[in-house]
Amino acid sequence: MARLVAISLLMFLVAGTSPASEEDRILYLTVKYAGKTVSLDDARVVDGTIKQPRQPRLTPGSLHFTVAAADGEVLFAGTIPDPTILHVEYEDDQGRLQKLTARQDPAIFAIRIPYDPRSYSVTIRRIDSTILDVKRLSEESTFLGTLVIDEEVRNR
């Protein structure tokens, strides 16, 4: 009986240390946003999962990104709040919570994408006005750039 328990424990430990499947990995991009352009600072594959994205919030100033394969097939899309606006909360001398909003340029931010070895590029657009339909994105946004993901990163 003890031998059966030991074998079961060993199998559990070996299974627990196996490499993560594609579903358990994230393509983590660090992006620099300066002026009206974006550039890729770092790209790596890390263990983890992406939360199911909510309905995109296409509000003015937010960034919309589209991940595409080399043949142009859209693999993933999402939005992030304006990374140039920094929100800080702090306690003042009287013990009251205060809020401060500041603009930062350049801004460094992260984009998390479900890992897919076909991910070739990420196109980022800044939303100019409130959009109710993502089909109008090209009319209501400013193109900031397309970031190409290095082949070595894609094939990890």
Q: Which domain holds residue 73?
A: 24-154
90 falls within a domain = yes
CA–CA distance, 113 with 39 (Å, rounded to integer):
17
Write out pLDDT tens, residues 45-103.
Answer: 999 988 776 666 678 899 999 999 999 999 999 999 999 999 899 999 999 999 999 99
Question: % helix / strand / coil in the chain, to the nearest 5?
Answer: 15, 45, 40
Q: Calculate mean pLDDT across residues 109-138.
A: 87
CA–CA distance, 57 with 134 (Å, rounded to integer):
10
Q: Is the peptide bond before 106 cis (omega within 30 degrees of 0)?
A: yes
CATH, residue 43: 2.60.40
3 falls within a domain = no
Give the pTM. Answer: 0.76
Q: How many separate domains does the chain show?
A: 1
Q: Which residues are bridge partners to 113 per DSSP? A: 27
pLDDT of 119 over the 70 cut: yes
17 falls within a domain = no
